[in-house]
Structure 1
Amino acid sequence: MSTHDPAASPAPQAPLWNIANILTMSRLVMVPVFVWFMFLTGLGWELAAFSVFVIAAITDRVDGELARRHNLVTDFGKIADPIADKALTGAALIVLSVQGELWWWVTIAILLREWGITLLRIAVLRYGVMPASSGGKLKTVLQIVAISIYLFPLYLLPFTGVFVWIAHGVMAAALAVTLWTGLTYVIDAVRLVRAKGAQGTQNGASE
């Protein structure tokens, strides 16, 4: 009779090359394709760049849902997914600024926040894991929607000027939420470090 407790066995790890990770990698591959299309002239290429960006953004939503629903979460995915997200939005923002469609200060502010907070979360890992911000999903949605509007050839639509102002408005909202969530991360990081420091002091005093 076996004395091994099946409940004590570790849960099987999801394979590295699962559908969620494949979608994440495909999003990374689409980034240079998107940038290439953006620098080609003609309506067809504009629509192609817009389509690639939208498809890549959709894969971001799909791969996360698949990973959680089918237990396909891997350490590789945890690292690659946010990198793919930031590569996609960062490339789009930079190209839009290069082409004069978006102010450089907006692009720089968003990129500094995105990569700055990523480095901050890594730096405080020894104190604990910082949970995702409650406004993170809203930030991502606003960024994707704003960029998508900028990428679409608005001159095809009636009342082009109205849609341009809509694009500016959504981007302003995206920038505001991006900076606000960045501030909340900094506050959370300070609280985490202080809490661990206070705990260490108490433990030392009790010894």
Structure 2
Amino acid sequence: MDPASPAIPTTGPSAWNIANYLTVFRLFLVPVFGWLLLVDAGASAAYRWAAFGVFAVAMLTDRIDGDLARSRNLVTNFGKVVDPIADKALVTMALVGLSAIGEVWWWVTIVVLVREWGITAVRFWVIRHGVMAAGRGGKVKTLLQTFGIGFFLWPRSTLPLPHLWDALAWGLLGAAVVVTVVTGVDYLVQALRLRQTSERAVRKRAERAERAQQRAAREGRPQS
């Protein structure tokens, strides 16, 4: 019998897994959704319903890939970074498209997108210190955005009581804007704290202190 092989250290789940495949699939749906929404400047009821269908499928994959990643231990740094990017790309396409066809005020789109992509930039800013996963507030924000945008996508000409649906859509989107701003500030605070308290930050401070002591010793200065 061959001698037992040494244990191979585990390195975590591979980035090539079903949860991440769904995330990438959601990214590919973004241009399809955008094209369907903008056909005839959003005036075609059939294309609007098709756009809503693609949007719904994309958001469903967001829920499924997260559940799969957690239940099957498939959480990876790739997924933590790309999943929110896919979500933001879809929301960006939806809000820009709805603003372009005159159904959502541009200032709402700008506020939401500045926060969304600003936080994405912050995630990359602190990625050497750790990965910032989505928190509970971010999930509430995503839920409000999803339903608010979803109601805006429904063609009003095919609905009874269109003004009621407009009020519901604006109510959800307005709540989403508030939560979006609040959670954005919270993420920024977390990022600043992470850069101060991460293992990398602590190690860097220790290295700087050691170098300062060595310089002081070479120069014959008393050490503090």
Runs of 4+, deviation exceeding 6 Å:
196-199
Is the contact made by 1:14 and 1:71 (CA closer than 8 Å) also made in structure 2? no
Cα–Cα, structure 1 residues 78 and 129, in superposed 2: closer, same or farther, change >3 Å?
A: closer
Per the alignment, residue 221 of structure 2 pairs with: none
TM-score, length basis structure 1: 0.86
User: Could you say which structure has the larger radius of gyration?
Assistant: 2
- Higher mean Cα deviation, 28-37 or 38-47? 38-47
* Deviation (angstroms), 1:103: 0.4
RMSD of equivalent CA atoms: 2.6
Q: Partners in 1 of 2:122 and 2:15 — Cα distance?
A: 30
What corresponds to 1:29 in structure 2?
Answer: 28
* Structure 2 residue runs without a partner (length 5+): 214-224
Please give the alpha-carbon distance, in whole angstroms, between the structure 2 residues aligned to 1:183 and 1:127.
19
Paired residue for 2:121, among 119, 123, 126? 119
* Structure 1 gaps, min length 5: none
1:120-199 residue pairs with structure 2 within 5 A? 120-195=122-197
- Whether the aligned pair in 2 keeps the contact of 1:106 and 1:175 (CA below 8 Å) is yes
How much has 1:192 moved relative to structure 2? 3.4
Contact kept in structure 2, 1:38 and 1:95, CA below 8 Å = yes
Task: Give the alignment of 1:11-90 within 5 angstroms.
Answer: 13-14=13-14, 16=16, 18-41=17-40, 42-90=44-92
Q: Against the structure 1 CA distance between its residues 108 and 70, is the aligned structure 2 distance closer, same or farther, given a 3 Å change threshold?
A: same
* 2:101 match: 99
| Equivalenced residues, count | 204
Report the CA distance between 1:127 and its aligned residue: 4.2
Return closer, same or farther for 1:189/1:24 CA change in 2, 3 Å cut-off: closer
Q: Is the 2:95–2:104 contact (alpha carbons within 8 Å) kept by the matching residues of 1? A: yes
Give the letter for the 2:66 counterpart: G
Moved more, 131-140 or 88-97: 131-140
How far residue 76 of structure 1 moved from its aligned partner, in angstroms, is 3.3
Identical counterparts, % of pairs: 45
Query: 8 Å contact 2:45–2:157 — kept in the other structure?
Result: no
